[in-house]
Amino acid sequence: MPKAYAYHEILKLCERLEKTYTPAVADTLDEMGFMNQAMHAGFLPILPDAVAAGPAFMLEEAKTQKSRRLADYDPEFVAQALTGVFGSMQKGQVVAVNTNGFSGAGAFGELMATTCKYCGGVKAAVVDGPVRDISRILEIHFPVWAKGNIPADSIGRVDLVGIGGPIFCGGIRVNPGDVIFADRDGVVVIPITEVDLAEVVEKAEEVVVSERRSRQEIRSGSSLLEVYKKYGKL
């Protein structure tokens, strides 16, 4: 069984992950036999240089069965529901949102981003669907990876049907405790009940160092064959 880490230890390992890059982690997981941990193509960061790694906090949404206007909702019910969601979050987490394929409304917006950052201590969100309020999310510098944008509100169009997972996001199963790592290349999920997180981090760091050396030698005139023989990869 993989080693179990205390939450603060996981956050420290995530800080080290953020100094690598998702292709190095994806390659590392490939070598360890986990070849289906990269989310589908199409997740783009609204902050181009954003990098975030953290334990997953899962939300599941679905197209509503009965549309209602915002005025039709009981304010106390809405407040209690939001408190239940954001009160369950932990500092350093990355929110993962499954929309169950519905792209007719913003699955994540300004209110959720602001509350995630300032109330939950969440560091980023990965949304398998469109988002809205992008300009205002950028104002608070909250990293979001999403599959598009749309101005339509989720109120009256989307129901929150699950909190805390497990879910499928980007075609990958995300379980409680899994680590999500996202950068401009995409999103990778590290299944920490199946692999040792520290081992993944260490091997990814080795990949980064090896690839840096390979690039330097190729730029200095070494042939691809020479570099491959020396390091075992390009």
Residue by residue, DSSP assigns 101-115 as T--SS-SS-HHHHHH
pLDDT band at 4 (very low <50, low <70, confident <90, very high): confident
pLDDT band at 109 (very low <50, low <70, confident <90, very high): very high
DSSP element (H, E) containing 202: helix 197-219
Q: Give 15-66 pLDDT, tens digit per residue.
A: 999 999 999 999 999 999 999 999 999 999 999 999 999 999 999 999 987 6
Give the chain's mean pLDDT.
Answer: 89
Percent of the chain exceeding pLDDT 90 equals 69
Residues 109, 117: contact at Cβ < 8 Å? no
| Within a domain: 7 | no
Cβ-in-10-Å burial (0-12, 13-18, 19+) of 105 comes to buried
| Within a domain: 164 | yes
Q: What's the rounded Cα separation, in Å, for the pair 188 and 214?
A: 24
Q: What is the mean pLDDT of residues 63-80?
A: 63
| Within a domain: 50 | yes
SS3 percent helix, strand, coil of the chain, rounded to 5, is: 35, 20, 40
Measured between alpha carbons, how far is residue 1 from residues 4, 56, 197 in Å? 9, 20, 12
Residue 85 is part of a domain; what is its CATH number?
3.50.30.40
Number of residues assigned to the chain? 234
pLDDT at 156 over 70: yes
pLDDT at 213 over 80: no
| Within a domain: 75 | yes
Residue 127 pairs in a beta bridge with 97, 146
Sheet strands (E) in 46-164: 52-63, 94-98, 124-128, 144-146, 158-163
The pair phi, psi for residue 200, each rounded to 5°, is -60, -45
Q: What's the rounded Cα separation, in Å, for the pair 202 and 37?
A: 18
**What range defines the domain where residue 68 resides?**
35-193
| Within a domain: 176 | yes
Residues 22, 182: contact at Cβ < 8 Å? yes
- Which pLDDT belongs to residue 3? 83
Number of domains within the chain: 1
Q: The pTM is what?
A: 0.88
